[in-house]
Each structure stands twice: as structure tokens, then as C-alpha cells.
Amino acid sequence: MQVDELLIWTAAACFFDRVCVCVKNVILQALTKNFYHKMKLQTFGVLICVFFLCSCASNYHLINPPSLNYLSNSNDKSVILDYKYSLLPEKYAKKETKNNIKLIAVKLTNNSDRDLIFGKDIKLVYGNGSDVILIENERVYTALKQKSAYYLFYLLLTPAKFNTSSNGRQTSSFPIGYAVGPGLTALNMIVAGTANSAFKKELVDYNIIGTVVKKGATVYGLVGIKATKFENLKVKIE
């Protein structure tokens, strides 16, 4: 994807996030002012569904490991490990917890006198010395990506109508579902698809499992590990 296209989709994602916020605010105002007395129960029920279903697709913010401020580090035999947890936006972070996966950014500096392979010569261990289980980035992507097909459920809103009444008689009816249903479906799927593509590309670009870290070199990577919580990590050279 070209830079200009990425900027366009990022702007669209931000706009879509604001739309979701506005929808929720309108419903909250309706609750506060008792607007539901002026609407049919059917219409209000649809709006409530939008309120709870409007867990909009999340855009993806590039992690860019070289630009991070690493606060945790370890060293062994002239090899320095810097690492950082909590990299992903909420949608992806929830799936980290659900799948017992943690994505970490790592910075490896090889000050030894030989070339080393990450995952073979350079290993990660927990503070108690037990080995950290590495997960291939392709598996990380499959487990954490947003499921675009989920947003097809928004099509169920297509028949929705906004009805107003006065003195017990209907005064107007607007078929808002034709815009809300297909509109939310398309926007969510586009945002989710674009975010997933950016996420996958970064996982590919910073996949360092099996990478040779030359002596005197520093490499950055994104590594998925099997973990249920944030634990201290150490580097171990074999």
C-alpha cells in the first residue's frame, strides 16, 4: 500500500471512530431527555442495539520498534535485550488476553565477538530461568487479527426506521436503516481490513525469529510469546 493511500485510510478510520462516538452520544442524550416517549419502541430498540453493537472496528497504530522508549532490559555475555509490552490497541489487546499471547517489541544489541541467531543462540527466559515459548508471527496474526465478517451483522439494521409521533399519531418515518446497516457494515469491514493489513505487514517486517544478529549489530523485532501476564524477561546466550 502506498503512503498516500495509507494516510487516506487512516483518516477514514479516525472519521469513522468519531461517527461511532457521535452515535453513542445521541443515544445518551435521548435517554437523558426522555426522547423515547416520542418514538416507537421498535425504533428505540434499534438505537439501543446500535449503542451496544457499535464496538467499531479499530484502526491500527504502527508500533515501529526502533522508535520506542524501552524501559526494561537484560544482558548476558555481552548481548543486551531491551523489550516492551503493551503495544496494541484495545481490539487486538483483548485478543492477546483471550489467546494467552503477548506481543513484545525487542531491541537486541550484540556486543559479543560472534554472530548469533535469535531463537537458537539467543533465547528469552523468564526471571525464574524457564524458557519463553516463542510464537511464529503468522500464528500471532491469525490469533489477534480483527474478524471482518463479524461486522456483517450490522446488515440486520437495514429495515430500521426512525418514526416520530405527536398525540399518539405517527407524524413521520425515515428509513434510516438503508444508510445505517450497509454503511456501518462497509465502513467497519474497510477499517478492520486496512488495520489488519498494516498489522500483518509490521509483523512480517519485524519478524526476527531465526535472524542472524551480526556481532556489533543492533536489531529490532516484534515477537509473540505464550504468556498469560506481563512477566520480566531475560536474555540467555547459548
Q: Cα–chain-centroid distance for residue 22? A: 21
Number of domains in the chain: 2
pLDDT at 30: 47
Q: Running DSSP on this structure, what letter comes out for residue 163?
A: E
Contacts of 216 (CB under 8 A, 6+ apart): 110, 111
Structural domain boundaries enclosing 72: 65-145+202-237
Q: Running DSSP on this structure, what letter comes out for residue 88?
A: S
Task: Indicate whether 187 and 140 sit together in one domain.
Answer: no
- What are the residue ranges in the chain where pLDDT is below 50? 1-3, 5-7, 9-10, 27-28, 30-42, 44, 48, 51-52
pLDDT at 57: 82
> Measuring CA to CA, how many Å separate 211 from each of 4, 40, 106, 157, 214?
31, 62, 13, 49, 9
Cβ contact 194:59 at 8 Å:
yes
Alpha helices in the chain (DSSP H): 3-33, 41-53, 90-98, 137-144, 177-205
Q: Distance between CA 71 and CA 172 in Å, rounded? A: 60
Task: Indicate whether 231 and 158 sit together in one domain.
Answer: no
Task: Indicate whether 79 and 164 sit together in one domain.
Answer: no
